[in-house]
Amino acid sequence: MNKELSKKLSSGHATCAGCGIPAIVRTVLGATDEDVIVSNATGCLEVTTTIYPSTSWKVPYIHSVFGNAAATAAGIDAAQKAISKKNGKKFKPAKIVAFGGDGGTYDIGLQALSGALERGHDFLYVCYDNGGYMNTGGQRSGATPYGANTETVPAGIESFGKTQQRKDLMEIVKAHGIKYLAQANAAYLPDLKRKAQKALNTPGPSFLLVLQPCTQVWKFPTSQYVAVGKLATETNFWPLYEIEDGKYTINNVVKNPKPIEEFLKTQGRFKHLFAEKNKDVVVEIQKVVNENMEKLVKKAQIS
């Protein structure tokens, strides 16, 4: 392990074998040499790094309840501004980073995130998106893909899994008019680091949405999270892009995208879709992936 990165999140945590969350956290926190304060919503990251009486955190860390990591970050920002106003140049504010899973961001924490973004607090919010409430058994969230089998929308005789499309969280966040937000992937860490550096150097709120393949609920071998993550981008299911001052940039244009089946077939949560009766669901998933990519290309003004 890189010693510099381990200074902020140590080894010895309890994340699952093959989990990309530690790599995401170390990459983001390793993107700055400045002091950092972390706000962390209840979720996989929190429950696996703060098992009493131990902690894996080597920076100031606040565990927030499921819905208010962004509100906690806003409070830290307000406190630092008050101290800075009182002490002037003697006080140097720390960078503030809030981490939350998709359940604590798309759903439970969306109100707190929206408020903190709208008020313009100076912090970076990082959502590690594994497509469900993984630390409580794999229930569906607003990030769960259409057609996926989960504990609360199981595939079976009467259902093909989740019947709703994922929320477009990037556009929801963009609507707040923040200066920098980006979509990244745990399988592309250099790209994530570059985006984290930009985000941390952007005044005011910034946002990173990072795909985090989950070995336990997506159901693939623990050695394959990078391969699965790459397929998400190579099929255009999860394009890598950023929005800076309203301008869209696609960071990895896939000229010959692989069919969505290549991504779906790696995961047990989609195995039911390859039954003859569900072939139309796969067709619909491909159709939506194509449409979403066409919209993104237009926004990025790529001919």
Domain boundaries, the chain: 3-299
pLDDT at 21: 94
Quick one: pLDDT band at residue 302, thresholds 50, 70, 90?
confident
If 0-12 CB within 10 Å is exposed, 13-18 middle and 19+ buried, where does residue 203 land?
Answer: exposed
Beta-bridge partner residues of 241:
183, 250
Tokens representing 132 are: 């469900």
pLDDT at 299: 96
Beta strands in 123-259 (DSSP E): 124-129, 180-185, 206-211, 241-244, 247-250
2, pLDDT greater than 80: no
The superfamily CATH assigns to domain 3-299 is Thiamin diphosphate (ThDP)-binding fold, Pyr/PP domains (3.40.50.970)
**pLDDT tens-digit profile of 91-108?**
899 999 999 999 999 999
Averaged pLDDT score across all residues of the chain: 95
Cβ atoms within 10 Å, residue 127: 29
pLDDT at 303: 53
**pLDDT tens-digit profile of 120-158?**
999 999 999 999 999 898 999 999 999 999 999 999 998
Quick one: pLDDT band at residue 1, thresholds 50, 70, 90?
very low
pLDDT at 27: 97
pLDDT at 4: 55
Q: What is the rounded distance in angstroms from the CA atom of residue 254 to the CA atom of residue 262?
A: 15
Quick one: pLDDT band at residue 87, thresholds 50, 70, 90?
confident
Instruction: Tell which residue, 20, 11, 281, has the closest CA to residue 145.
Output: 281
Least confidently predicted of 7-11, 179-183, 197-201: 7-11
pLDDT at 11: 85
State whether the Cα torsion 218-291-108-11 is positive or negative: positive
For range 234-260, the mean pLDDT: 97
90, pLDDT greater than 90: no
User: Does 190 sit behind a cis peptide bond, omega within 30 degrees of 0 on the bond before it?
Assistant: no
Tokens representing 237 are: 């299911």
